[in-house]
Amino acid sequence: MLSRRNFLTTAAAAVATPALASAGQGLKLAFIPQENPEKLLGDIETITAWLSQELQVPVTGFVTFDHAAAVEALRNGDADISFMGALPFVLAEDQIGAVPLLSEVYRGQPSYAGRVFVRKDSGIETLADLQGRDIAFADPVSESGYLYPLDLFVREGLVADAGDADRFFGQKFFAGGYQQAMQAMANGLVDAAGASQYADLYLTPEQQAEIRVLGESEQIPSHAIIARPGLDAALQARFVEAMLRLNQAENRYLLAYLYGPDGYVAADPKVYDGVRQMARRYGYLK
């Protein structure tokens, strides 16, 4: 999850509209911007060119503002397929019937965890010690950057629900992304950060040596590639086959153009059950 997208904190504009995607009969991919949207635009060109060749249909791509815009694009047909985190996916599934096609693999796993980090010199030893202290999460619509780390406090009986978190913590911030949350913690602006298990890699090596993990959530399905409902089943299947060919040695260099996972596996809709339950528990799903 090292170079994962930051949902609401794009570093620069360069946000295209769906209208830039081909209006023809090909496949339209929606990408979520990460720290460098311009790089993403270049990446899209490379990956869509390869997919066009593999699928023998025109494949185009565009960058959306955020996950919400990507889901909106899937709903109104401006996009056929989108890259998506597990939480926004289950929300999209609920709203428009989006289907998961592929899951990213990082460090050999199609899953990861959320963690609560503190500075070693903070004197904080347990989650309970964070009562009345300040915490920075990444974003309210983030599984590893909010819900799963928050759930650690709920499971320990420290917090009743999301609303109760404001009572437990001194102040609860949404810093805008993993990196901002981790920097706020490492620089002493807050006492703790809730973020992806790999978010410490956003810190300098010196900062990494000065922090510790206070808690780790259950495993979360990794980011997914999802499709709008009604997308031609044969085209979907061919897309999945093509993407799985990225795991082959001769194609692996292309993964660097796709948020840098180690590879992909076909998605199993059941693995999102935990995320669905989590979304319901915290009021994200009815």
Partner 1 sequence: MKYLIASALIGLLPLNAGATAIEEAPWAPRAAAYRLSLFMANLTPVPWDKIEKNWTAPAPGSAVAVEALSRVSDRDARNIRAALAAEDRQALFAAATTALANGILKHLEKAEAMLGQPEAAFEVAQASALYRAFEDGILAADKQAARDLGRAWLVLNSSLGSSGVLGNGAQDADPVRFAKAQAVITEYIEASYLPTSFAERSKLTPLPETAVRAGTAAVLPATLPPGSNIADQRDLPRLVLQFEEAGEDEANLPLVAYGDMLFDSPEIFGYPARDLGIACSTCHNRSDVNRDFFIPGLSSHAGGMDVDSSFFNPMFNDREDDHLDTPSMRGIRFTAPYGRDGREPSLRRFVRNVIVTEFAGAEPTPFQLDAMVAYLRVFDFLPNPQIDQAGRLTDMASEAAKRGEVLFNTQFAGLGDRSCASCHTPDRFFRDGRAYDIGSAEPPFPGGTATAFDTPTLRNVNFTAPYMHDGALPTLASVVDWFNETKGLSLDAEQRADLTAYLQAVGDGEEPYQRFEGRDSVFRLSWEELTTFASTLDTLIPLRDAANIAVLVDTVAPDLAADASVMTNQSAKPEIYKFAAILRSVGDASAAGDWAEAGRQWEVFKTMQDEIDGRMF
From candidates 187, 237, 252, 253, binder to partner 1 by CB under 8 A: 187
Q: Measured from the CB atom, is 12 or 128 closer to partner 1?
A: 12
Is 38 a residue that touches partner 1 (CB under 8 A)?
yes
Is 158 a residue that touches partner 1 (CB under 8 A)?
no
From candidates 5, 8, 151, 193, binder to partner 1 by CB under 8 A: 8
Is 36 a residue that touches partner 1 (CB under 8 A)?
yes
Q: What amino acid occupies position 137? A: F
Taking the complex as a whole, the smallest distance from the CB of residue 27 to partner 1 amounts, in Å, to: 22
Taking the complex as a whole, the smallest distance from the CB of residue 15 to partner 1 amounts, in Å, to: 8
Rounded to 10 degrees, the C-alpha dihedral 91/95/96/101 comes to: 20
How many residues bind partner 1 (CB under 8 A)? The answer is: 60
Tell me the per-residue interface mask from 230 to 269 with partner 1, x by CB under 8 A, - otherwise: ------------------------------x---------
Chain residues 116-155 in contact with partner 1, contact rule CB under 8 A:
136, 139-141
Is 280 a residue that touches partner 1 (CB under 8 A)?
no
Is 277 a residue that touches partner 1 (CB under 8 A)?
no
Is 229 a residue that touches partner 1 (CB under 8 A)?
no
Q: Measured from the CB atom, is 35 or 129 closer to partner 1?
A: 35
Give the residues lining the site for partner 1 (CB under 8 A): 2-3, 8-15, 35-36, 38, 65-69, 71-72, 75, 87-88, 91-92, 94-96, 107, 136, 139-141, 172-176, 179-180, 183-184, 187-190, 200-206, 208-209, 212, 260, 279, 284-285
